Amino acid sequence: MPFDLEDLYRDLHSHPELSFAETRTAGLAAARLRELGLDVTEGVGRTGVVGVLANGAGPVVHLRADMDALPVTEATGLDYASTQRAVGPDGVEVGVMHACGHDMHVTWLLGALERLVATRDRWSGTVVAVFQPAEETIGGAREMVADGLVDRFPHADVVLGQHLAPLPAGVASVTSGPAMAGADTLTITMHGRGGHGSRPQSTIDPVLAAASAVVRLQSIVSREVAPGALAVVTVGSLHAGTKSNIIPAEATMGVSVRSVDADVRATLLDGIRRIVAAEATASGMTEPPTVVVDETVAATVNDPEATARVRAALETRFGAERVIDIGTLTGSEDVHELATAAGAPLVYWFVGGVDPETFSRAAAAGRVEQEIPTNHSPFFAPVLHPTIEHGVETLVTAAMEWVGRR
């Protein structure tokens, strides 16, 4: 019996789960795969699911969808909006939302597999469906690789995947070479000397040092990196103190760094360390800042030859005007780790989910950034149609470019 993909998407959107907690989502995906007759393995990389659709001799294509949601409280007002809450790894209860489209990714992949099963008399090869956990924390791909993804399942000749983006529904963006930036996540702690807020002269104020560092860190991109190079330094969190009249002993910053070029990355990281150390010295701190690199993920780089094949296939199917190239995005991904581990080419592209008329009006007014919610926004919500249908078709079209035709 065919899946109702809209019902599936609504269900997934209403029941988001944080990274490595995607048990319901994984169970649903596994059950659907079994209904389709695939060979299913659960618990790969903790909560990942792998389904194998063997259909005779031919290439092996890995199709990947990520499953995890974000610690975001939904504000879309949709009748299927998430009201879920969960306790995160830090022990704090948060709202949970599919604010990055991973619910759509799962829907697309299940819909594509249904189509490939129904048309298996037209192609030959093997399709491996990879439902990956924990993309948002850049850990899921590594966990699946460490759990034997490359050795336990048919070896990939190519890894394909797609991501929902704030582009018009019906449009896909395909970029050759670097498609997404690499990322480093740092935790920086400034060590001061606490005391009474009425006697600042008896303290070393880490809040002032951290605040100065936040401002100064922005000079790295504007003054130390060549104009036009991809480089981002964002201080996303600053935590210090418990009360207005207490100068705390420490202040902690969470910093996100994005780059593609190795030399630019080195400039950014060296500059961050230099600036926070200098601010500590300027404040008279006796202990240097603690700088911990929590996460590092390389840039997502599409194989040029394989990308050209995908682009040509999508242009033939949809028309060249609906296949664009928005260039390298400053967001980051870990899908490339699946391809790197297999020594296989990667093609990762973007599929629009915004109502085309809404997008056109915003573009005409020069207000796309202001009016079109982006990934990770509490207002992020794709229009269901034609986003579902187009995403399924793009994934099937790309897969069919490899598995061949009978």
**Could you read off the pLDDT of 65-94 as tens digits, one per residue?**
999 999 999 999 999 999 999 998 889 999
182-296 CATH fold: Alpha-Beta Plaits (3.30.70)
Contact 141, 132 (CB under 8 A): yes
Three-class SS state of 247: strand
Reading the block at residue 160, the tokens are 């394909």
Q: For residue 212, give the nearest of 190, 231, 195, 236 by alpha carbon.
A: 190
Residue 91: CB atoms within 10 A of its CB come to: 6
List of residues 6+ apart from 151 with CB closer than 8 A: none
HSE-up (13 A, CA, CB side) for residue 386: 12
HSE-up (13 A, CA, CB side) for residue 232: 19
Lookup result for tokens 């420490």:
250
390 labeled binding residue: no
Lookup result for tokens 């605040």:
211
Compute mean pLDDT per 10 residues along the chain, 406 residues long, and list them: 88 98 98 98 98 97 98 98 93 96 98 97 97 96 98 98 98 98 98 98 98 98 97 97 98 98 98 98 98 96 98 98 97 97 98 98 97 98 98 98 82
| C-alpha torsion angle, residues 350, 355, 28, 39 (rounded to 10) | -40
Three-state helix/strand/coil letters over 50-98: EEEEEECCCCEEEEEEECCCECCCCCCCCCCCCCCEEECCCCCEEECEC
321 labeled binding residue: no
pTM of the model: 0.95
Write down the H helix ranges in 147-200: 149-152
Give the pLDDT of residue 14.
98
Q: What is the DSSP string of 96-108?
A: -B--SSHHHHHHH
Q: How many helices and strands in the chain, by DSSP H and E? A: 12, 18
Domain residue limits, the chain: 5-179+300-403, 182-296
**Could you read off the pLDDT of 213-272 as tens digits, one per residue?**
999 999 999 999 999 999 999 999 999 999 999 999 999 999 999 999 999 999 999 999
Contact 220, 176 (CB under 8 A): no
The Cα–Cα gap between 386 and 384 comes to: 6
List of residues 6+ apart from 184 with CB closer than 8 A: 256, 257, 265, 268, 269, 293, 295, 296
φ, ψ dihedrals at 57, nearest 5°: -70, 150
376 labeled binding residue: yes
Reading the block at residue 336, the tokens are 């490339």
Residue 323: CB atoms within 10 A of its CB come to: 21
Give the pLDDT of residue 3.
74
Give the pLDDT of residue 406.
59
φ, ψ dihedrals at 133, nearest 5°: -85, 165
Give the pLDDT of residue 90.
82
The Cα–Cα gap between 304 and 403 comes to: 19
List of residues 6+ apart from 196 with CB closer than 8 A: 202, 203, 245, 246, 247
239 labeled binding residue: no
Question: What type of residue is 243?
Answer: K
136 labeled binding residue: yes
5-179+300-403 CATH fold: Aminopeptidase (3.40.630)
Give the pLDDT of residue 170.
98
**Could you read off the pLDDT of 333-347 as tens digits, one per residue?**
999 999 999 999 999
Question: What type of residue is 90?
Answer: D
Give the pLDDT of residue 88.
86
Give the pLDDT of residue 1.
52
List of residues 6+ apart from 47 with CB closer than 8 A: 20, 21, 22, 23, 26, 67, 133, 134
List of residues 6+ apart from 43 with CB closer than 8 A: none
Contact 238, 217 (CB under 8 A): no
